[in-house]
Amino acid sequence: MKIVILDGYAENPGDLSWEPLRAFGEYSVYDRTPKEKVIERSAGADIVVTNKTPLPKETLARLPNLKFIALLSTGYNVVDIAYAKERGIPVSNIPSYSTHAVAQLVFAFILGHYNHVALHSEAVHAGEWSASPDFCFWKADLFELAHKTFGVIGYGEIGRRAAKIADAFGMRVIVTSRTKPAQLPEYVTFTDQGTLLKNADVVSLHCPLTPQTQGMVNEEFLAKMKPTALLINTARGPLVDEAALAKALCGKTIAGAGLDVLSSEPPEKDNPLFGAPNCLITPHIAWAGKETRARLMSIFLDNIKAFTEGGPIHVVNP
C-alpha cells in the first residue's frame, strides 16, 4: 500500500509521529504541495492524504491507482466527493476531534474583549503601573460575564460545549439552529435568529458553511445586534461578509469581534478587517493545540486502518 501525505506540516510540524503509518505500507510526507505538483507526487498512490490541498475532479481523474482519500480535517470541500464516489473512492474526514479546543478559544476571545488582559499587561511592562499614583488603574472598560447573554448560532457539538462553558460563567444562554433539538439542557433557551441578535451580548457562530449561510453575517445581520455586542467566529470564514463587519466595527454598530477564520487563508494583505478597531484575529489556531492534533492523528490512523481492513469509517461520500 502506497500512502502520500500532501500537506502534513500543519498537523505535524515535528512534535508528532507519522511512523505508525508504516504498519499499513510505504508512506511519503510532504510539508506542502503546490497545485502543479499534486499529480506528480500522488502518482501510483493507493491512499492520498490531504488537509487543505485541493483534489478536484481534474486531478482525481489522473490518479488511476487511487483507492482512498484520507482527510486531516473535518471539512471536505477541498475534495470533489461526488466524483470520488463515482470512482468508488471513499473519502474519510476527522469528526469531533476539536470540540473542547474550539470552545476554549471562543472564551479566550470573550475574556480578551471583556478583561483586556494583554492591554493591561503591556501597560504594566511599559512602566505605567509603576508611575501610577493609585494602587490600580485600567485603560479600558471592564465587565463581568455573569448575567450577560450568550447567543449560539448552530447547536452542534461545539455550540453545545460553548453553551455549557457560558453557563458555568453564569451567563444566560440562548441558541438558534436550523432544527430545534428534541431536548435541551435546562439552562438553554431556544429562539429564532432575530430574537437572538436583539438580545445577545455575545453572538458565537457554530453553523456549517452552506449556500444558505455563506455571507450570513452581513450589514442587515450586524444592524440587528446590540451596539455593545461581541461577534465570535470560530466556524468558517465565509460565514462573514468581512467588508460589512469592518464597517460595523469602525462605525460602532457592534463593540467588537473575535475571529479565528477568514474568507481566504492565508488572507490577502488588504483584508478590510486588518486595522479594524476591537477586532481580535488569530490565524486559524483553534485546532492547533498539541493534544487536539494528537487526537486528530489517532482518528486519522483509525481511518487508515479501517480502510485497509475493508470497512472504511467516517466516510463523507457513502
Instruction: Give the catalytic positions in this structure.
Output: 236, 265, 284
**Is the four-CA dihedral 57, 63, 66, 69 of positive or negative sign?**
negative
Tell me the three state secondary structure of residue 188: strand
Whole-angstrom Cα distance, residue 48 to residue 70? 6
Q: Which three cell numbers stand for residue 242?
A: 468581512
Using left for φ > 0, alpha for ψ between -120 and 50, and beta otherwise, residue 314 falls in left
DSSP 110-151: HHHHHH-HHHHHHHHHTTTTTT-SSS---SS-----TT-EEE
Answer whether 3's CB lies under 8 Å from 46's CB: yes
d(CA 316, CA 234): 22
Residues 303, 74 contacting (CB under 8 angstroms)? no
The amino acid occupying position 313 is: I
Residue 168 and residue 104 in contact, taking contact as beta carbons nearer than 8 Å: no
Question: Of the candidates 251, 206, 207, 243, which has an alpha carbon nearest to the alpha carbon of residue 225?
Answer: 251
* 184 burial via Cβ count (<10 Å: 0-12, 13-18, 19+): middle
